[in-house]
Amino acid sequence: MKIDILDNITGFGKKDWTTSWVLLWFVCGFIALFTGFWTTTAHTHLDWFYFVISIIGLVCVVSLSFRKNITGNGLGMVATAGEVIVQGTSGAVGLMLAPLFNFFTHVYGVKYWSNHTGADGDMIPKSAGKYVWLITICFIVLGLLLFPTVNTWLANMSYVVVENDGSRFLGRIDFFWINVLAFVLSITAQTMMILRYSLNWWLWIVVNAVWLIINLMTGNTIFAIQTVIYQINAFVGLYGWHRSEQLARLQSP
């Protein structure tokens, strides 16, 4: 299904609104991050470092949605390496796992994406058949089943990833399991993205929805706003990747 405004934003339409869209999206994200940084931190050197890494993250995610290899995976390596440092220096050693995993996926992505680019230099995504969807679902289910055991093991070594404080969403769903779901889905989505499967954006849309719940439950209003901004980017990424995939199929002999 073609949507004219999204075609223009993603560079497939009669008008090229790509630059205008990226600038608008980035400015909104920057304002949300800076407001959160300025109003909720003590402005220490570590706080400034995390803020800079967050800005790099903004450029990274929008570049990934537009299939840019170097700015996407390259800056992804910088952002995730910075997140590992931030989590480690703040004592949240368990939370180093996800960005550490993502760092190595970006390292792999730099080479892998470069071998699958079109004439414009942008990565060409591929569709996922039923087999890939089944593998992805099995990976998520397995992750959800194993995560509590892994989390307990890390907790015994003082490296807990998610604290189980007994809080619940709408009085029914444990906050612990919401965090677990976000953790497992984000790693799965990251893997699918690096492997060039368009389905990754469906997963990121779910991940952002889950993280929005987490941010609202913890009263993190600024990052809840940032999550909404990321969600908009995910929808644009989903459309752009699918359009690129469709055009590549039409042009193939």
176-234 pLDDT tens trace = 788 888 888 888 999 999 999 999 999 999 999 988 888 787 776 777 888 888 999 99
Please tell me the predicted confidence (pLDDT) of residue 110: 94
Q: How confident is the model at residue 171 (pLDDT cuts 50, 70, 90)?
A: low
DSSP 70: I
| pLDDT for position 164 | 67
What is the rounded average pLDDT of the residues 76-103? 80
Using pLDDT thresholds of 50, 70 and 90, give the confidence band for residue 133.
Answer: confident
What is the pLDDT at residue 252?
63
| Average pLDDT of the residues of the chain | 85
DSSP 95: G
Is residue 143 helix, strand or coil?
helix
pLDDT at 123 over 70: yes
- The structure's pTM equals 0.86
Least confident of 4-13, 130-139, 212-221: 212-221
Q: What is the mean pLDDT of residues 242-252?
A: 80
Q: C-alpha angle 117/121/127, rounded to 5°?
A: 35
Is 70 exceeded by the pLDDT of residue 81? yes
pLDDT digits (tens, 9 = 90+) for 105-118: 999 999 999 999 98
Strand positions, DSSP E, the chain: 168-169, 173-174
What pLDDT, on the 0 to 100 scale, is given for residue 206? 94
- Residue 177: which of 201, 153, 130, 143 has the closest Cα? 143
List Cβ<8 Å contacts ≥24 apart for 161-169.
Answer: 161/94, 161/95, 161/97, 162/94, 167/217, 169/213, 169/217
pLDDT band at 91 (very low <50, low <70, confident <90, very high): low
Distance separating alpha carbons of residues 27 and 228, to the nearest angstrom? 14
